[in-house]
Amino acid sequence: MAGRYLVIFHLGPVQDFIATARRCRDLWFGSWLLSELAKAAAREIVNQHGGDMSCLIFPAPNRQADLDSQEFCAPNRVVALVTGPPEDLGEKVREAVLRRLREVRDKAFQKVKGQIHRDTANRQVEEMLEFYWAACPMEGDFRTARAVAESLLAARKTTRDFAPAPWAAEVPKCSLCGRRESVIPEPVYDQKSEEELFREYGIRRGERLCGVGFLKRHGERAPGFFSTSHVAALPLLERLAEGDKSYVEEYIGVLKGLGLSPERLGKVPVEHPVFGCYDGHLLFEERLREFFEDDATLEEAKIALQDFLEKAFGGDNPLPYYALLIADGDRMGKVINAQGTPEEQRNLSQKLSEFALTAARIVRGHQGSLVYSGGDDVLAFVPLHRALDCARELAATFRQMLATFKVFEAGREISPTLSVGMVVAHHLAPMDEVLELARETEKHAKSVQGKDALAVTVSKRSGVDRTVAAPWGTLDRRLERFVALHRLEAIPDRAAYELRDLALKLDFLAEAARKEAVRILRRKEAERGVRPVATEVLSELEALLGEEGLSIAQLADELIVAREFAKAQDLAGMPIPGKDVT
């Protein structure tokens, strides 16, 4: 076969590999590896076409050097317009992807100092890879060829491969995926101490890992990536002044004296000007339990921590919550379908690549850790005191950068927008559960009419999850105002919960419920019972229930959600906007 073909490559697994994460670094590594494999595929396609970058349609970096850049994230689908037999190219691309996977695997396994079943681990890693491709001759227009190639790829992905596989060994399963067998010999757990297990394998005593688990655990270290505990601690660390450095050194010295190794102290890639390179997990009493097996030693560590918090922060403790943010472009399918030529599709791809690089800078600028930014997708950990601002800037930047791409919807011309789902989660919550909740929150944002929306879920360890969602310019504006009112102590905390109870009891009597809600607000006292709620604030909340049509339940939930951001901003010592309003 000769001529020109439109070829689409798919690399996976996506959810299985990315979502099965116990630590946030596991989550980052899954995304990073898929991007690396996709870049290996793209590089091979370009190499097979004499270095001609124009053969790539998606992604479409401006320079070949971008495919080697750590900052450039490639999606797990590669679309190219190629010449020559596609079956030959497909095999060459597959070999290039496997070579890159083996390079990453071998480098990771070199860091494992203890004995593992290496042959089994190698096989597990290679069998994990999904590699599918489909091609269509470019005999007609571009849209038709792409539709045919997409249909063929979908059919190939649903065609199961029945490769022969031996029965699984009778050994414990991996703690991360729960399916593959552990490659750590079981006698090791009786022979090694907790410290030796961590030093030689990077595991805790009850933890088992398969080859893929070891790949995640010991693979490439994330540049600028923090643990969830460190992200949760950042609002408090914002207050550390230069004079507090002696307190830090004193606290770290006690921990070292108690036998805590440098590995367990943690090492963050972006050094704090006062707290240094130490991980914020050292600021949480519940994390100290992981490092000291002896009760007496643990108690000494707790006392040292409380002494440090008292000297450095007047006894304040870090909030145990952080934000996981997922952003996704709206109407991107329609926008892609509207591109009628390979050149138009490349222009869109280049703009998406530009946004991905900009998104990475935005997340870092708000003290966050970027998991993934490729095309119109963003996944990031952000400290609570900066989370709303970060999400707003991402949405505004996306809207601005893609403003020239138009589609018709409901009789009007419209450009792509960015919807964001954000979950406020406990720093010790299982990562797979937090990620699933963040995806559900993103669906709430996507279900808002007209999209271009924000959705926030607060998931506390006690109580029910609360989700609020509305378009940009509406929800973020209200949350920002409620945060300021909370920080000014202009709204009593109990008011929101009483409004929530009222909504459950009188939901079927809307007008009666609204009047009772107003009564509840009017009899509440602000500033911890010192004075009545200001007339201006009461009028503002009543207007939301009346003129703006906000339901009592949603007002209550938004007040409760805003309280979490207010606590973080207070802890960080941020200025309060509109302080003279009330």
Q: What is the pLDDT of residue 1?
A: 43
Burial of 326 (0-12, 13-18, 19+ CB in 10 A): buried
Q: Is 31 exposed, middle or buried (0-12, 13-18, 19+ CB in 10 A)?
A: buried
DSSP codes, 83-132: ES-HHHHHHHHHHHHHHHHHHHHHHHHTT--S---HHHHHHHHHHH-EEE
Whether 22 shows a pLDDT value over 70: the answer reads no
Question: What gap in Å lies between CA 391 and CA 365, rounded to an integer?
Answer: 12
- Tell me which residue of 492, 455, 446 sits closest to 476, measured CA to CA: 455
As given in the structure block, the two tokens for residue 398 are 């996306």
**What average pLDDT score do residues 67-90 get?**
89
Largest CA distance in the chain: 83
Distance, in Å, from the CA atom of 209 to the CA atom of 169, rounded to the nearest integer, reads 14
User: How far apart, in Å, do the first and last CA atoms of the chain sit?
Assistant: 75
Q: Is the pLDDT at 580 greater than 60, yes or no?
A: no
Question: Which pLDDT band holds residue 445 (cuts at 50, 70, 90)?
Answer: very high
Distance CA 41, CA 133 (A): 11
- Mean pLDDT across the chain: 87
Q: What are phi and psi of 40, to 5 degrees?
A: -65, -40
pLDDT digits (tens, 9 = 90+) for 127-156: 988 999 999 998 888 999 999 999 999 999
The strand order across the sheet containing 369-374 reads 369-374, 377-382, 321-329, 418-426, 453-458, 466-471
Evaluate if residue 365 carries a pLDDT over 80.
Answer: yes
Task: Give the pLDDT score at 89.
Answer: 94
Closest CA to 26 of 34, 35, 17: 17
Residues 176-199 have pLDDT tens digits of: 788 889 999 999 999 998 888 988
Nearest to 398 by CA among 330, 344, 446, 451: 330
d(CA 144, CA 341): 11
What is the H or E stretch that residue 554 is in?
helix 552-572
Position 167 confidence tier, pLDDT thresholds 50, 70, 90: very low
DSSP labels, 496-517: HHHHHHHHHHHTT-HHHHHHHH
Spatial contact of 448 and 362, defined as CB atoms under 8 Å apart = no
Written as six digits, the tokens of 73 are 């994230």
Residues 6+ apart with CB under 8 A from 164: none
Dist CA 223 CA 303 (whole Å): 33
CA–CA separation, 278 and 55 (whole Å): 46
* DSSP bridge partners of 455: 421, 469
Best CA proximity match to 379, nearest among 447, 464, 441, 451 = 441
pLDDT greater than 60 at residue 123: yes
Alpha-carbon distance of 448 to 178, in angstroms, equals 35
> What residues pair up with 458 in beta bridges, in sequence order?
424, 466
Surface-to-core class of residue 331, CB atoms within 10 Å of its CB (0-12 exposed, 13-18 middle, 19+ buried)? buried
* Among the listed residues 361, 426, 418, the one whose alpha carbon sits nearest the alpha carbon of residue 395: 418
pLDDT digits (tens, 9 = 90+) for 25-36: 777 888 889 999
Judged by average pLDDT, the poorest of 164-178, 291-305, 396-410, 552-566 is 164-178
> What is the mean pLDDT of the segment spanning 469-488?
94
| pLDDT value of residue 249 | 92
Give the whole-angstrom CA distance, residue 461 versus residue 163. Answer: 43
Question: Per-residue confidence at 550, pLDDT binned at 50, 70, 90?
Answer: confident
Task: Tell me the β-bridge partners of 137.
Answer: 5
pLDDT one-digit tens code per residue, 25-75: 777 888 889 999 999 999 999 999 999 999 999 998 878 888 888 788 888
Alpha carbons within 13 A on the beta-carbon side of 159: 10
Indicate the Cα dihedral angle 76, 81, 85, 91, nearest 10°. Answer: -20
The span from the CA of 555 to the CA of 395, in Å, is: 23
**pLDDT score for 581:** 46
Amino acid at 102: R
